[in-house]
Structure 1
Amino acid sequence: MLRPIITLDLPSTTITDLQKKGFYYVEDLLKNEDCLKKFDLNRSMLEKQLNVPGTLALDVWQRDTQRQSILVCCSELEAVLGNGFQCGVITELSGAPFSGKTQICLQLSISVQLNKCHGGLNGRAIYIDTRSGVFGVRLRDIIRGYNKLFKDLKLNENEALNNIHVLAPHSMEDFLQIIDCVGKVLAEEVQNDKKTRLIVVDSLSMPILCCIDDPLKRPYYFSKILSALHKLALKHDLAVVITNEIVTQVDKDGTPYFAPAGGQHVADYVHVKMESTKLTDDKFAIRLVKSPMMPEISITFKITQDGIRSVS
């Protein structure tokens, strides 16, 4: 793609004179040594400006439409997301306690290990558990559910559990150190080994709300952690899913309302936002509140002993 000379950091009179002489693109200008000398233009500086990184909108569109994703055996939820939980972005699940957030995350940590024909990415999961919500018994139930659902699937329970690396920070310092260590682990993964394709943080807000007493300091931690996770999602083409607590906030008129913790500091980094609600003992609802592709919509799903399923 040719670079117009009008985009260069040059005086307008110089650009006008160059155009009068028939030079409209930087590439043409660099081929004419006499012209460079006449206008006292530095070749290395022009080449440096020419090499400013950029991306065509078509490339962005192709990247977005070709993102890999993880399915969870719930067709309604997958459809709302535009074909599952996408790689390269952060997805937020917010909601009150017992609204199904952790159940979705646990199922994702198994789903990501499946082959693509079963909706997975043949990868591993890193599960950052800040709420002590990972239960081996529940994971085994989900594994058995998948083996019953797909007759040609023979997931080994111990092997599947071994592909989920659970990290449990006990302080804010632990949390930050774990985020830093995850980046190093991903960078050192062997190319031909099963790679990490999912990072779960369940929950992002819990340690920040519990450990940081000063509300004015909390935005720093939200932004620091989410910025690091966003870079990992892009660099390693993996899905990042965070859960978030619902907290009471106050608007400019002093009226209290409920909203996910972190507010705009979280929303700026999150690609897809969903809010979950418990309807009955086994029936739940999810509302899509932010997506670059899908409209705002609500769906229902159920949680059975075998995992998340569509409501029949």
Structure 2
Amino acid sequence: GLAVAALEVGDDAFERMLADPKAQAFTENFTGQWLSLRDINATTPDKLLYPEYEELLQWSSLQETQRFFDEILKHNLSVRNFVDSDFAMLNGRLAEHYGIPDIHGVKIRKVALQPESHRGGVLTQASVLKVTANGTSTSPVLRGVWVLDRIMGQAVPPPPPNVPAVEPDIRGATTIREQLAKHRATENCASCHSRIDPPGFVLESFDVIGGWRDRYRVAADQKDWVKNRVGPLARYLAAYQYGLGQPVDAGDSLPDGRPFANIDEFKKLLLTDPEQIARCLTEKLVTYATGQPVRFSDREAVDQILAETRASDYGLRSLVHAVVASELFQRK
């Protein structure tokens, strides 16, 4: 993929490569690595808690993210769009899942988003929200680490030894926030959790299949099912055999003290530093293109790539072009 362009980076080879149908392999492989989309089949959503999940929804969610990347690449849109965008790539099934009306059919197409949709960017896409959950419950720790690493470019060290993992209470008696508060109160956990928890908490508004939620779905006795179906057919009608648990609390503050109440406010805070997003994506592109992680000694070369693409507001096409033309790529 990217190697072809390096041969004649001075002419139109790069643009020809991106116009080639084979460029689709770049989209699939890079998003598979960067966003963990290759793990889409790693979990199976709990059928009682998430009966609406099926193959068409999974296929549509993967298509959304890949076509979204293509759209940004094709039009050299700013990498800001990966944090928040005023459009999404949807079909009827995905639009229904997101609560967006009047979109029909299987074909993925560009759809303008209304502010109240809570969508836009990759953080709120069903594919990403699925690969960062385990099928039954969401973990602010897993999602928080993912956002720090994949979007903000901040490495998180492994947890200290002898610190037990946080196991979600599937009956919903205690919230994940209450459980994590114990970690934040522990001195050797606090420094990392002050960074990990905020992006993790804000994504609690989205369930394991990327649906919006105000309350958690929980395993429940039949009398507490959301739609209590009784009678001879009840056991065949498994669509609503879950209850509603605690309300979601998605608000928190960044380590610097800036508060946010929801995903929309969180994304605005992230976008106050677009270079952070661009630097992270540049490093992911370099790692993908060279097969080597970016080292501290590569910082100057990364800075040069960012300087060259600043005028385009860090357009994705410009970034990919600059990575391929960089000494980081040429020498490896």
TM exceeds 0.5? no
TM-score, with length taken from structure 2: 0.21
Q: Whose radius of gyration is greater, 1 or 2?
A: 1
TM-score, with length taken from structure 1: 0.22
Structure richer in helix, relative to its length: 2
